């Protein structure tokens, strides 16, 4: 049922890009923050300004990871090494925390300005599996998960929430490590072998693969099906409604 293997009793959903249409807001906030920094750095050093690619570089270095890890990963890809700083660094300070705080301020402003839209197919699917007696969890690197779910009015669709706040409290490693997904399965009382991961990020499907879950479903919203498979997705769909319509065909 639901395009899932027999014996599955828990579904673990990433939020941004799988349940809510907030991945584009995050990508835009990352681009605005990085471009500000890169432009200032180019002017100060007399080098060429090369803007952040909100598709290729977002997917490869930032998407699905904890905020600080995403900042560090992208900058290192450009050969830029900044001090870590402290969590209290003002937004825009040239430290990992300062740039990360700037990104967070930008995305919160974008969420407040435009509200939060959901993927209707995902909501239909989540309601269906819950009706079928399957437990549900939302697993996100975002520290703003509760605010986003509340804004969308869908927090009640999940029995468990493991997000950036919980991960920090518990010392859980972020994706691509499997820790947050494993914690969600444990909170639902389900072994990984009986749980399924739903992810749109390369780091997220890698986390699902590393956790040895029953199935890792890649959700391809931006034309990266091959990359999702390469990072560990067992099947790839464009929308979760396909799992209801066809039982989940590999694409």
* Residue numbers annotated as active site: 14, 16
Q: Which of 226, 215, 221 is nearest to 248 (CA)?
A: 215
Q: Which of 157, 165, 156 is nearest to 198 (CA)?
A: 157
- Sign of the CA dihedral 225, 228, 230, 233? negative
| Residue 85 DSSP code | -
User: Among the residues of the chain, which ranges form H helices?
Assistant: 23-45, 56-57, 67-77, 96-114, 120-131, 145-152, 164-170, 179-187, 202-210, 225-231, 241-246
Maximum separation of any 2 CA atoms in the chain, in Å: 61
User: Among the residues of 46-142, which ranges form H helices?
Assistant: 56-57, 67-77, 96-114, 120-131
Q: How far apart are CA 152 and CA 154, in angstroms?
A: 6
SS3 for 10? strand
- 3-state helix, strand, coil split of the chain in percent (to 5) is 50, 10, 40
CB atoms within 10 A of CB 153: 10
Q: Any idea which residue has 């990984």 for tokens?
A: 192
């Amino acid at each position: 049922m639901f395009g899932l293997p027999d014996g599955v009793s828990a579904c673990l959903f990433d939020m941004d890009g799988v349940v809510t249409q907030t991945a584009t807001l995050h990508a835009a906030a990352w681009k605005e923050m990085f471009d500000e920094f890169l432009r200032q750095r180019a002017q100060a050093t007399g080098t060429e300004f090369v803007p952040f690619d909100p598709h290729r570089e977002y997917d490869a270095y930032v998407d699905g990871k904890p905020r600080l890890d995403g900042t560090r990963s992208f900058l290192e890809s450009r050969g830029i090494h900044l001090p870590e700083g402290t969590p209290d660094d003002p937004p825009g300070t040239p430290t990992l925390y300062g740039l990360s705080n700037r990104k967070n301020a930008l995305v919160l402003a974008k969420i407040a300005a435009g509200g939060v839209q959901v993927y209707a197919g995902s909501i239909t699917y989540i309601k269906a599996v819950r009706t079928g007696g399957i437990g549900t969890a939302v697993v996100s690197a975002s520290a703003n998960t509760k605010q986003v779910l509340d804004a969308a009015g869908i927090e009640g669709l999940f029995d468990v929430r493991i997000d950036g706040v919980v991960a920090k409290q518990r010392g859980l490693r972020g994706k691509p490590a499997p820790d947050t997904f494993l914690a969600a399965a444990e909170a639902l009382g389900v072994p990984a072998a009986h749980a399924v991961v739903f992810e749109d990020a390369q780091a997220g499907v890698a986390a699902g693969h590393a956790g040895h879950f029953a199935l890792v479903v890649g959700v391809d919203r931006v034309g990266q099906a091959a990359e999702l498979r390469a990072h560990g997705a067992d099947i790839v769909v464009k929308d979760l409604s396909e799992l209801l319509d066809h039982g989940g065909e590999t694409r």
